[in-house]
Amino acid sequence: MVKEEIHDLLAYNGLKIIQRKDLFRFSLDSLLLADFVNINLRTKKIIDFGTGLAPIPLYLSLKTDLPIIGIDIQDDVVELAKRSIILNKLEHQITIYKRDILDAYQDFETNSFDIITINPPFFKYHNKEFLNDLDALSIARHEVFIDLEGIITSAKKMITNGGSLNFIHRAARLEEIIILLNKHGFIMKRIKFVYTTTLKDAMMVLIDARANGNTGDLKVEKPLIIYGEDNKYTDEVLKIFHIGDDGFDTKS
């Protein structure tokens, strides 16, 4: 049996997350995405696609009291996520379901979610004949069971008119992302490029796309640099972690 470990969700107010080495562990990407999400007074329902061990719902619970749903296709991952929710005493707010993103719309009211988040698989997968041999880590990283268009198509069936689809992806796939979003009736409203250092090209891009939104008012936010010249996290990243803060103004 693979040993389980309980880790801090970085520096967040005592939040804990249960992980296993054979499963995809939560990463900086998830926390950058959760921090990027804007929750406003019109928001009523939130869902996290491919929630994994639920780092995004856990993080979002620090920003809002609204109910949050997380869905994932992998049994072991779902069970660990559920236990993390119980460990953090958040059963009243966060609910985790085993669902396939492609047909999850059948289990929920159509066009009912105001915010959809996803930290999707980044890499295309071409060796379909080896599907049965893939481990959980490969499934999390590669477009095995669902690709980018499948995610966007499913999101369109579940999101409210004007609702916000938030995700992080490889910056190198931005052209493809724009084409697919436009094809399915989404307009990018905010983007933020993520750089490992100022000496390298953008690695990731954070995107907030609106269902049936209006064109012409895209906001390109100040880029996020992960590491400074000293190879340590920049102040902006530390702020996302809330390291060094005297307190955390939650649910404001």
| Domain ranges (residues) in the chain | 4-241
Find out whether 202 and 193 touch, Cβ atoms under 8 Å: yes
Residue 146 and residue 150: Cα distance in Å, rounded? 6
Find out whether 102 and 26 touch, Cβ atoms under 8 Å: no
Lowest mean pLDDT among 26-35, 69-78, 231-240, 243-252: 243-252
Element (H, E) at 49: strand 46-49
Indicate whether 197 pLDDT > 90: yes
Tell me the one-letter amino acid at 72.
D
- Return all residues near 75 (Cβ < 8 A) that are at least 6 apart: 98
Q: What is the mean pLDDT of residues 23-32?
A: 78
User: Who wins on pLDDT, 34 or 122?
Assistant: 34
* Average pLDDT over the chain, rounded to an integer: 85
Q: pLDDT (tens digit, 9 = 90+) per residue, 129-167?
A: 444 444 544 554 544 566 899 999 999 999 999 999 999
Query: Count of CB atoms within 10 A of residue 60's CB?
Result: 24
Q: What is the mean pLDDT of residues 214-222?
A: 87
What is the domain class of 4-241 according to CATH?
Answer: alpha beta
Find out whether 91 and 68 touch, Cβ atoms under 8 Å: no
